Amino acid sequence: MSRWKVLGIVAVPVALAALVAGVVAAGAEESRAAGGLFSASLVSPGLGPSEKAALQARIDKVQEARDKRISAQDRAKAAKRVARQMAAAKAAGLPTATATPGGTPDYFGVANWAYTPKLRKFIDTLPGLGPVNKNNLGNYIPVAVPDTVTYPGSDYYELSVRQFTQKVHRNLPATTFRGYVQTNHGTDANGQNTVKPAPIMYLGPLIVADKGRPVRIKFTNELPTGEAGDLFLPVDKTVMGAGMGPLDMPGMPGMREDYTQNRAVIHLHGGHTPWISDGTPHQWITPAGEDTQYPQGVSVQNVPDMPDPGEGSQTYYYGNQQSARLLFYHDHSWGITRLNVYAGEAAGYLLRDDVEKDLVARKVIPKAEIPLIIQDKSFVDAKTVRKTDPTWNWGTNPRDPGTGIVAPKTGDLWYPHVYVPAQDPYALDGVNPYGRWHYGPWFWPPTRDTVQPVPNPCYDPINAPWEPPEAPGVPDVSMPGESFMDTPLVNGAAYPKVTLKPKAYRFRILNAANDRFFNLQLYVADARRRSADGRRYTEVRMVKATKTKRFPADWPTDGRVGGVPDPKTRGPKWIQIGSEGGFLPAPAVVKQQPITWNGNPTTFNFGNVDLHSLLVAPAERADVIVDFSKYAGKTLILYNDAPAAFPALDPRYDFRTGSPDLRAEGGYGRIKAGYGPNTRTIMQIRVQAKRPAKAYDLKALRAEFRTTATRDGVFKRGQKPALVAQAAYDSAYNEQFPTQWPLWGYSRIQDNAMTIRTVDGRDLDMPLMPKAIQDEMGEAYDEYGRMSGKLGLELPNTSSTTQNFVLQNFVDPVSEVITDSSTFEALTPQAGDGTQIWKITHNGVDTHPIHFHLFDVQVLNRVGWDGIIRPPDPNEVGWKDTVRVSPLEDTIVALRAVAPEQPFGVPDSIRPLNPMEPIGSTMGFTNRDPTTGQAIDPAVTNQMVNLGWEYVWHCHILSHEEMDMMRPISFKVDRQLPPAPELTAGFAGAGGAPPVGLSWTDATPWDGSGPATTLGDPANEQGFRVERALVTGGVPGPFEAVGAALANQTTYSDDTAVAGNAYLYRVVAYNAAGEILSNEAAVGP
């Protein structure tokens, strides 16, 4: 969570002062889009007296909060106080308590943080796709090779998750990761499975798929078992789903068994998949042979027409009924998602379609395509880690059987594990200089219903006067508020360099970081500044952020510490053609632009990020073209200045060249040119000094996206129709959509409903579904007083007296119910279909990237609580699966979920509400009615529930997701009983001997390519059950199940039949609607 001082239900930024030296003029311009791209903000018309009163009430609370900030200056003063006290104690030779590996942390006398060894930047090359693009360390991103034989009409892969090691930098020992590898052979040009898969490598294997051609996966968990299967990272077992499960340990009543740490699952992020293959938090598996009562999650379901893969494996089906786009797959295991993904369980997934292929073939977009998967990591420095993080006791070295201590190993991944409170209520200044996150009992208003502070084992008023008598009552091993690391990786390499030709390239960018945002910019490298070892071109030239002649209009002049990049060194613009949802309605040209904040205190979202360049939050993707034809012989730096947290910067997470020494506050020392840690300089690009190619034809690109009277543009012919007509879609549809209220497609702050116009010209009245986000508030602290973030509902039709949120835990009963719209022939919203418009009200402090499983959304607008309407950025227009939701404003999105089509029936998700508790337990529920805010009576108890097709929506800051900032979605689909099979049976052996052969009809058959009517048929069977009755003396006995058949299978051989016996057989076809019997077939004398 961001470093904001919070009071009541509102928050304001405090870290802005750490970035800005001086006060931004109150008359600053209103918020603008990325790089000033979209039109001026709009003001909501028609605020009535009640709405004005509600707005004023909110503003009053914000003003109250702004008077109570903890600033970076406050923390620096507290650091000086503690430094004086420590120096005096050291001079006097006074003994003080020290924390030990694996022990209780010292929350007030040490950083409880660690930093990567100094690494030289830009000495290793960028790993590319396939072995032909390996880097100097031999690393590349493997591309999976499909088996097209085993399942005709589908691409089939066998993937495993394993533990492995790989170097990410030549000067850093190999790091242990967990990641994916293909294990089956691919099909060659002669139709034989002879192509060997690539070895396991970081971020592999990337899967390339085609629209409409299914991908089938058998996934196997090959992680170590037992103690060896434990993560090499700190696991907070108080996180829901990470510790105790519902069952007692064998022979130990009352002692619940823990979930294991070697669980894994695959979630195809952005994929429109049947829920059984979505990879939700309860669909994890453990390795075969693991000694556990929980071998798999409660929602694991295999693909109905694929054989049971056996213990430790599961199957997935991706229909790929989407347009071309970049997706990725990653872990989503309950309680350990953030750790598994940080450990390496993520890889890319490229989906192609004919529209994209045509653009490439005609050279409208470049054929040269480079993935840039960007993350941040921290690595253990064995020489220093115990100095700044004395309780660190994880990694890949063996654990001492006597002491339980693990010796630190350089190159291992490091992850924060101590919840350091921002406050020290026993100090006159009230500030803990090492503090990072607010602590509920020491916050205003203080949380009373949480675990309260405990005696501080380091308390010693004589020898250690900086230690207060109490410490936070949080677990010794505690998940962090966020994990902002110090070393950027691109495609698995730290600070890589890449050499390109002076021509246009297409970059497929993915922010795969756990928690960090990136504001990506390109600048010509500073040729004058040298590193200590004599290297040049490692830095961006910085200038003072003050009013300067010939500065661009939007260049920051706020006096920020460290300055801003010299605008004279700006590199080529980003030409963005796609986002998570595929191609945009029109190309968006994004200029190089440092981050700015809304500095106008008269606006309600004061302190939110205002201007930016190519901004990508965790899980966001950007499909961009960059033309280097004017940069032959030049070296550029891929640069980032996004604040961490976002939008409120903590200088300790802003690792930049020339930064001040922040060690007294738990930060890093001074950072020198040419070396890490550094999160500003991500990658070096060297453009060859060759004759440049012709400048990229942006005019021709724009023409391709524009619809005319004679030809549909890229978006219209390749994407599903937009749900709400807005002026931003005019060129995509060759229309002039309304620009004035009420049909302008924007929601005002006072709206609880809106009238929309569809792109095919119909007007519909739509209610706004009130959703809520709240973080770092008293209502959102967890049971230990740690700040948290929650999703929930805003009470409908709120006013100045009723505005309120009802926050929900992940395990609470479902509140988001969506109906399938596939039964409607039209692709645009229809009266009575499943179209919904969500108004997400954010009453908190952080910008949250909210991710929606199953469906994309159309961002309609954002509206501040002061009524100022902000249209989406041009590169947010179209379809998104991850949307940035910022504080103190409403974000409005439209959605219309359509069930993916597959050739088999899909069961419902039937599981306990809270899988970690026994049935009947009342633990873990908020017991608040989300529609009224009142207590639920009788209280919610853990019980089996039918969620239909179950999906989730959540924050994709993974630390926040596992603070319970996630909610289930129940998707309601049409279902019908399968038609009754027609069965024939007879002895199949020689002379009428066993076995008995059975065959039956399937009214919804599938042979891998057809018939097309089977795809998505609600009467598709999930499978068949074969039943048999023994006939004795002409009287049949009871029917009993003797076998089963997969969906689309129409034969079965009963090897247990006995010669001379008479039998009756029947086949039961079943799906989520129920089951139906075939006719009875007699066999025997």
Which pLDDT tens digit goes with each residue over 118-144? 999 999 999 999 999 999 999 999 999
pLDDT at 965 over 80: yes
Decide if 710-972 and 983-1083 have a common fold: yes
CA distances from 1079 to 132, 1022, 1048, 1076 (A): 60, 19, 18, 10
Model pLDDT, residue 644: 96
Give which of 413, 482, 493, 495 is closest to 680, Cα–Cα: 495
Select the more confidently predicted residue: 839 or 13: 839
Give the mean pLDDT of 566-573: 98
For residues 869 and 741, what is the distance between their CA atoms, to the nearest angstrom? Answer: 12
CB-count burial class (<10 Å; 0-12, 13-18, 19+) for 561: middle
Model pLDDT, residue 823: 81
Give the mean pLDDT of 670-686: 98
Which pLDDT tens digit goes with each residue over 900-938? 999 999 999 999 999 999 999 999 999 999 888 899 999
Model pLDDT, residue 599: 87
pLDDT tier at 26 (50, 70, 90 boundaries)?
very low
Select the more confidently predicted residue: 825 or 358: 358
pLDDT tier at 516 (50, 70, 90 boundaries)?
very high
- Mean pLDDT for all residues in the chain: 92
| Architecture of the CATH domain 983-1083 | Sandwich (2.60)
Give the mean pLDDT of 23-45: 35
Give the mean pLDDT of 548-575: 96
- Please count the helices (runs of H) and the strands (runs of E) in the chain: 10, 57
Give the mean pLDDT of 847-865: 98
pLDDT tier at 46 (50, 70, 90 boundaries)?
low
Model pLDDT, residue 96: 76
> What's the chain's Rg over C-alpha atoms?
30
Question: DSSP secondary-structure letter at 961?
Answer: H
pLDDT at 226 over 70: yes
Cβ-based neighbour number of residue 401 at 10 Å: 6
pTM comes to 0.94
pLDDT at 41 over 70: no
Model pLDDT, residue 601: 83
For residues 392 and 381, what is the distance between their CA atoms, to the nearest angstrom? Answer: 11
pLDDT at 37 over 70: no
* Beta pairing partners, 4: 13
Supply 90's token pair.
């050291």
Residue 1010: partners with Cβ closer than 8 Å, 6 or more residues away: none
CA distances from 587 to 706, 759, 955 (A): 10, 20, 27
pLDDT at 1075 over 80: yes
Amino acid at the residue 154: S
Give the mean pLDDT of 88-101: 86
Output the CA torsion sign for 54, 16, 572, 492.
negative
For residues 195 and 192, what is the distance between their CA atoms, to the nearest angstrom? Answer: 8
Residue 766: partners with Cβ closer than 8 Å, 6 or more residues away: 753, 754, 755, 756, 829, 835, 836, 837
* Beta pairing partners, 1053: 997
For residues 959 and 415, what is the distance between their CA atoms, to the nearest angstrom? Answer: 11
pLDDT at 38 over 50: no
Give the mean pLDDT of 366-370: 97
Give which of 483, 400, 433 is closest to 234, Cα–Cα: 483
Which pLDDT tens digit goes with each residue over 415-472? 999 999 999 999 999 999 999 999 999 988 888 889 999 999 999 999 999 999 999 9
Which pLDDT tens digit goes with each residue over 713-744? 999 999 999 999 999 999 999 999 999 999 99
Domain segments of the chain as ranges: 126-354, 496-700, 710-972, 983-1083
Model pLDDT, residue 64: 44
pLDDT tier at 12 (50, 70, 90 boundaries)?
very low
pLDDT at 66 over 50: no
Least confident range of 48-57, 66-75, 249-258, 614-623: 48-57
pLDDT at 374 over 70: yes
Model pLDDT, residue 336: 98
CATH number of the domain at 496-700, please?
Answer: 2.60.40
pLDDT tier at 51 (50, 70, 90 boundaries)?
low
Burial 362-372 (b: 16+ CB within 10 A, else e): eebbbeeebbb
pLDDT at 246 over 70: yes
Model pLDDT, residue 20: 35
CA distances from 1050 to 187, 267, 409, 984, 999 (A): 28, 31, 57, 11, 6
Which pLDDT tens digit goes with each residue over 523-548? 999 999 999 999 999 999 999 999 99
Model pLDDT, residue 445: 83
pLDDT tier at 33 (50, 70, 90 boundaries)?
very low
Count CA atoms closer than 13 A to 75's CA, side-chain side: 30
Query: CATH class for domain 126-354?
Result: mainly beta
Which pLDDT tens digit goes with each residue over 647-662? 999 999 999 999 999 9
**Residue 228, SS3 per DSSP:** helix
Which pLDDT tens digit goes with each residue over 468-483? 999 999 999 999 999 9
Question: Fold for domain 710-972?
Answer: Immunoglobulin-like (2.60.40)
Which pLDDT tens digit goes with each residue over 299-342? 999 999 999 999 999 999 999 999 999 999 999 999 999 999 99
**Residue 302, SS3 per DSSP:** coil
Model pLDDT, residue 6: 30
Model pLDDT, residue 448: 87
